[in-house]
Structure 1
């Protein structure tokens, strides 16, 4: 984050993690120890040089007392778990032999409508509509 940038303008995942760590008044070394990761790795994440794995992001989120999905949402990034959830639902709709093509279309449209208006979707780029139309 540049020195002349306002403190509330964090936009990348690393910047958000740094901002939250600083709000918790933890040094990078203290935070890394609490999260169970190395200090250099945390530094690289905060500077945007490395993306944390899901496992590491979950450890960081636990240390910050927030969910990993919250961190993804604040950064405007769709979480891997959201992709998996959407995919599982859309796959179940597509593979159910009891549904007609028309019913499948209606279910995907209803699902897309609900997902796109959920609070979690408002800050993330949900891709369910694009995937559901491809099936």
Structure 2
């Protein structure tokens, strides 16, 4: 699971608990319906400015939103949701010296 999936799940839950439609949230936050939908489905990573606008409209603090998203992420992780890894697993025994990593792998790890 990616953090953006957890954030989208939490945002959708808050919106529906408040009884708001995507259209209503869009009008109040001045964020397009398609973009809001992509955020809620975890397909787009919302900027801090977008998240702040959504928090204002949904009457939740940024801290509360992040705490709820962290809890959602932890729950999915505990349930065995797959975690995306950008660093390949090493399969050689620990006593052997590994070859240097590919330069692209170093850039992703940095």
Class of the TM-score when normalised by the shorter of the 2 chains:
0.5 to 0.7
Choose the corresponding residue for 1:26, options 20, 25, 32. Answer: 20
How many residue pairs were aligned?
A: 67
Structure 1 residue 56 corresponds to structure 2 residue 50: yes
Shift of 1:56: 0.3
Give the TM-score of the pair, scaled to structure 2: 0.58
Shift of 1:46: 0.1
CA distance in 1, matches of 2:22, 2:51: 15
Shift of 1:63: 0.6
CA distance in 1, matches of 2:37, 2:28: 14
Aligned to 2:65, the other structure's residue is in SS state: helix
CA distance in 2, matches of 1:71, 1:51: 14
CA distance in 1, matches of 2:68, 2:22: 20
User: What's 2:62 paired with?
Assistant: 68
Structure 1: runs of 5+ lacking an equivalent: 1-10, 78-135
Give the TM-score of the pair, scaled to structure 1: 0.47
Aligned to 2:70, the other structure's residue is in SS state: coil
Structure 2: runs of 5+ lacking an equivalent: 72-110
Higher relative contact order (CA 8 A, sep 6+): 2
Spell out structure 1 runs of 4+ moving beyond 4 A.
none
CA distance in 1, matches of 2:46, 2:56: 14
Shift of 1:28: 0.6
CA distance in 2, matches of 1:64, 1:27: 12
